Amino acid sequence: MASEGADGDKKGTSNGGAHGSGDTASATEAAKAAGPGRGESVRIDSWIWSVRLVKTRSMGATACRGGHVRVNGERVKPAYAVRVGDEVRLRHDGRERVVVVKRVIRKRVGAPVAVECYVDNSPPPPPREAVAPAGIRDRGAGRPTKRDRRELERLRGLAAGTPGFSGASGQERGHGGSGSGSGSRS
């Protein structure tokens, strides 16, 4: 039995009236409909794009041509037909993703549905560095003092003799020293 809701969509009573689970169920049904028909196959570059392992299909094809995609241990071309049970290894963005194909789909689907199409056996990503970036000041801290500026330059690895920075005595700008026009008295 299906009744029509206030927004005009047909809502089934099979989910017990829960509103959130109907969206995922309908998305899963859409993913099943996005799969290939009988006897059809799906290209590997299209599949890794469909399950959101890469951002664009052309990035998937480029990864295949560059040897970054392996299916069952062998390098594959972008047109390789992927099947259920294949192990896909993808090196992308500095890490390796290892997935086993559970469902073959042709069209790109949402992230919650995409993770149902494969089993992720990837190693955990490397931990991020807990080091604060050098030379970041708190907002509203005001203009740095000369001492603060020199500490920032030392942390950033900038030498005092670099163009744009004053030397130790500041003579380049005409502050003190015995340069021309200083009018020294004898």
In the prediction, which pLDDT does 41 show? 82
* Cβ(114)–Cβ(98) below 8 Å: no
pLDDT at 127: 76
Give the number of domains in the chain: 1
40: domain CATH number is: 3.10.290.10
| Residue 52 · residue 108 · CB < 8 Å | yes
- pLDDT tens digits along 102-115: 999 999 999 999 99
Whole-prediction pTM:
0.55
> CA 135, 138, 142, 145 torsion: positive or negative?
negative
Q: Contact 170/176 with Cβ under 8 angstroms?
A: yes
Phi, psi at 99, each rounded to 5°: -130, 150
Q: Is 22 helix (H, G, I), strand (E, B) or coil?
A: helix
**pLDDT value of residue 89:** 96
In a domain, 49, yes or no: yes
144 in a structural domain: no
| 68 domain-assigned | yes
Q: Which residues of the chain have pLDDT under 70?
A: 1-24, 27-28, 30-35, 37-39, 129-135, 158-186
Tell me, what's the pLDDT at 134?
A: 61
In a domain, 183, yes or no: no
Q: What is the pLDDT of residue 12?
A: 43
Q: In terms of residue numbers, what domain contains 84? A: 34-120
In a domain, 115, yes or no: yes
Q: What is the pLDDT of residue 157?
A: 75
- Predicted confidence at residue 82, as pLDDT, reads 94
In a domain, 58, yes or no: yes
Asked if the structure places residue 38 within a domain, the reply is: yes
Contact call for residues 83 and 120 (beta carbons, < 8 A): no
Task: Classify residue 171: in a domain, yes or no.
Answer: no
